Structure 1
Amino acid sequence: MNKKRVTVVEIAQAAGVSKSTVSLVLQNSPLVNEATRAKVTAVIRELGYVYNRGAANLRQSGSNSKIIGLVVNDLTNSFFAELAVGVDMVVQSAGYVQFLSHTGESPDRQREVITSMREHGISGLIVSPARGTQAIDLKPLIASGIPVVATVRNVAGAKVSSLMSDNHGGAMAAVEHLVALGHHRIAFLGGFADTGVFTERYQGYADALQRAGIVLEEALIIGSAPSRAGGVDAIMRAMQLADKPTAALCFNDAVAFGVCDGLRAQRLEPGADFAVIGFDDVIEAKSAVPALTTVSVDPQGMGQKAAQLLLKQINAGQPEAEAIVSSVRLVVRESCGATKQGEQRRITG
């Protein structure tokens, strides 16, 4: 059941002022003295009221709000740019406009942008949560009845719909491919260990090694920022080991590109001297030199699915939360050193 929204009338009664005074405070009018403004603001915070700027504007124009919020944790990763394109393709055709924001892995910034989006009257939200996001961070949205779809990363305990990819199955397929190519010292490079995606991909890596009878070595698991710079850092540390790896499954494509940069800095050629596999299959993966072997998540398709799920929730009025796991596929190109090019294997699970 949706929680009743706090009204301006209730704010006015609690603060002991008129409704028009509350409205002036919400509009940052200079006509209100500072003492009254402080008193009203304190009540607003206490009652958890959010000023819906979009609704205020629409009351004047007489139209209906059709805004979708999209909040991502790292827009510097091209995966999220492609995800946003997929979302926009669907919401635009449904007559909605997309508001996009980047949090840079900051839960505080995430709270700010979500509050701002609520003020503008969003009809629903798609969020790839910032690192450290907790269920309580999404509680105001859920309480207000705004549909939410968490994508890429889930939020434990949050009663919202989710769209994830088969991280475990994808990582297993990648490692099994490297084992089939003759590698036994396979590193897992990049990513933050305190995220669910890292845990799932790491577990797929570990399970594939176990299935192949290869002992897992903690020294070959090197975390870093899930970025190109993080990839450079991770491979530099890996190559300082006494018994160096010969191949790596990277947390994502951004890390894989960085790993390739780091290898070249050490006069090693990706695909010839060291096998590299990424995860995501961003647009640049196919045109990279060497072309990147990667687990394809289809970021644009994932954005489309997330948008379709959100619109379904919006149209349902009081939707039930759904959890969807999308299949992935291993796309074999030159960076892993395989002789057979363009091979694709679909992963079921």
Structure 2
Amino acid sequence: MTKGRVTVIDIAKAAGVSKSTVSLVLQGSSLVNDGTRAKVNAVMRELGYVYNRGAANLRQSGSKSKIIGVVVNDLTNGFFAELAVGVDMVVQSAGFVQFLSNTSESLDRQREVIASMREHGISGLIMSPARATEAADLKPLVAAGIPVVVAVRNVPGAKVSSVVSDNREGISAGVQHLASLGHRRIAFIGGFSDTAVFDERIDGYRGAIAACGLELDEDLILPSAPSRAGGVDAIGRALAIAAAPTAAVCFNDAVAFGVCDGLRAQRLEPGRDFAVVGFDDVIEAKAAVPALTTISVDPQGMGRRAAQLLLKQISAGRAEAESIVSSVRLVVRETCGANLAGGSNRRQA
């Protein structure tokens, strides 16, 4: 068996059939009997063969693929819609078409959509990995020489390029701002604990709590789904703590919006009775009532940078891993209470 990419010849040898028979199976030809078809398909699954449908078409036309795959973990989160817009701005101007898919945090779905994209001969892939994605999940893409850029969530050990935000600095800035307003019990709310981005943001939280001379209370770290519903659930748990927090830095803006919803459900007003800081600065953050104080990441800008990096690798004909860490900044609006006369009405523990 040859090393690297599995070929039609490898499949033919393993299945004990001719190369032409394998080709007929791939084309769905009725000339192959069901038994042989099943045998060939079983061997392809066993060897991990991916039929590059796009490449087959391209061999006939003599052209090159102009498709970029974009896979995100949660398209219901406005951040990823903005990220995709940023990607499209760049790839469209370069003559490429974006093939967008949502995994809803499912590793199985992620494998399916990537396999489908490979069948259509994508030139490269930009992805925000589903939770629990490991380096081994990306290894087949690397082995096939397909340029890959992971965005937002890094995958430790994966030999692919990445574009992420400065997670530690962002959360640290949020904590320090809340501490400067007089808060002593500051919670960290939201995020799946099995992702690298969660680890980085928690590191920023713990470091800032120490730097501000505050006591670290692990009960104030409340993971949840990184969604609006997750924020509602987590703030309910936070307010049930005996020495409840008076402020929170949130994993992302979606969680922060949920926290605001949960506060109002308990007749508490964000920015007046409880301070909230998000992370992302999605379009809705500025228009929200009250406007959301958040860490600005510029999701469209991140999408543009990821696309530029991918196109650079496609043009170079090689996928050398590069890492970009985007700077972040605190945008002070209303939910932290800083803009209220006399500051926020804090409930000190």
TM-score by length of 1: 0.94
Pairwise CA distance, 1:14 = 3.2
C-alpha distance in structure 2 between counterparts of 1:13 and 1:224, whole Å = 50
C-alpha distance in structure 2 between counterparts of 1:200 and 1:11, whole Å = 43
**Count of residues paired in the alignment:** 339
Pairwise CA distance, 1:201 = 1.0
More deviation, 316-325/303-312: 316-325
Q: Secondary structure at 2:295's aligned position in 1?
A: strand
1:192-203 equivalence runs, <5 A: 192-203=192-203
C-alpha distance in structure 2 between counterparts of 1:276 and 1:50, whole Å = 47
Which residue does 1:290 correspond to in 2?
290
Deviation sequence 1:111-140 (CA, Å, 0-9, x none): 111111111000001111111111111111
C-alpha distance in structure 1 between counterparts of 2:28 and 2:237, whole Å = 53
Question: Which residue type is aligned with residue 136 of structure 2?
Answer: I
C-alpha distance in structure 1 between counterparts of 2:205 and 2:94, whole Å = 40
Pairwise CA distance, 1:200 = 1.0
Q: Secondary structure at 2:240's aligned position in 1?
A: coil
Which residue does 2:130 correspond to in 1?
130
C-alpha distance in structure 2 between counterparts of 1:157 and 1:235, whole Å = 34
Which residue does 1:29 correspond to in 2?
29
Q: Secondary structure at 2:269's aligned position in 1?
A: coil
Contact 2:146 / 2:319 at 8 angstroms: preserved in 1? Answer: no
Q: Secondary structure at 2:122's aligned position in 1?
A: coil
C-alpha distance in structure 2 between counterparts of 1:209 and 1:322, whole Å = 32
1:1-349 equivalence runs, <5 A: 4-339=4-339
C-alpha distance in structure 2 between counterparts of 1:184 and 1:42, whole Å = 61
Deviation sequence 1:169-196 (CA, Å, 0-9, x none): 0001111000111111111111111211
Q: Secondary structure at 2:149's aligned position in 1?
A: strand
Contact 2:126 / 2:151 at 8 angstroms: preserved in 1? Answer: yes
Contact 2:156 / 2:196 at 8 angstroms: preserved in 1? Answer: no
More deviation, 171-180/16-25: 16-25
Q: Where does the alignment leave 5 or more consecutive residues of structure 2 unmatched?
A: 342-349
Pairwise CA distance, 1:4 = 4.9
Contact 2:192 / 2:225 at 8 angstroms: preserved in 1? Answer: yes
C-alpha distance in structure 2 between counterparts of 1:15 and 1:242, whole Å = 66
Q: Secondary structure at 1:334's aligned position in 2?
A: coil
CA RMSD of aligned residues (A): 1.5
Question: Which residue type is aligned with residue 14 of structure 2?
Answer: A
Question: Which residue type is aligned with residue 105 of structure 1?
Answer: E
Q: Secondary structure at 2:335's aligned position in 1?
A: helix
Question: Which residue type is aligned with residue 245 of structure 1?
Answer: P
C-alpha distance in structure 1 between counterparts of 2:29 and 2:59, whole Å = 19
CA change 1:95–1:216 in 2 (3 A) is same
More deviation, 121-130/24-33: 24-33
C-alpha distance in structure 2 between counterparts of 1:249 and 1:312, whole Å = 36
C-alpha distance in structure 1 between counterparts of 2:5 and 2:206, whole Å = 48
C-alpha distance in structure 2 between counterparts of 1:75 and 1:15, whole Å = 41
C-alpha distance in structure 2 between counterparts of 1:225 and 1:19, whole Å = 48
C-alpha distance in structure 2 between counterparts of 1:17 and 1:214, whole Å = 70
Pairwise CA distance, 1:340 = 8.1
Q: Where does the alignment leave 5 or more consecutive residues of structure 1 unmatched?
A: 342-349
C-alpha distance in structure 1 between counterparts of 2:189 and 2:36, whole Å = 56
Q: Secondary structure at 1:172's aligned position in 2?
A: helix
C-alpha distance in structure 2 between counterparts of 1:163 and 1:16, whole Å = 45
Question: Which residue type is aligned with residue 327 of structure 1?
Answer: S
C-alpha distance in structure 2 between counterparts of 1:167 and 1:302, whole Å = 13
TM-score by length of 2: 0.94
Pairwise CA distance, 1:157 = 1.1
CA change 1:92–1:273 in 2 (3 A) is same
C-alpha distance in structure 1 between counterparts of 2:184 and 2:123, whole Å = 51
More deviation, 332-341/76-85: 332-341
Question: Which residue type is aligned with residue 312 of structure 1?
Answer: K
Pairwise CA distance, 1:246 = 0.8
C-alpha distance in structure 2 between counterparts of 1:63 and 1:324, whole Å = 31
More deviation, 306-315/37-46: 37-46
Which residue does 2:345 correspond to in 1?
none
Pairwise CA distance, 1:7 = 2.7
Deviation sequence 1:142-179 (CA, Å, 0-9, x none): 01100111111111111111111100000011110001
Identical residues among aligned pairs (%): 77
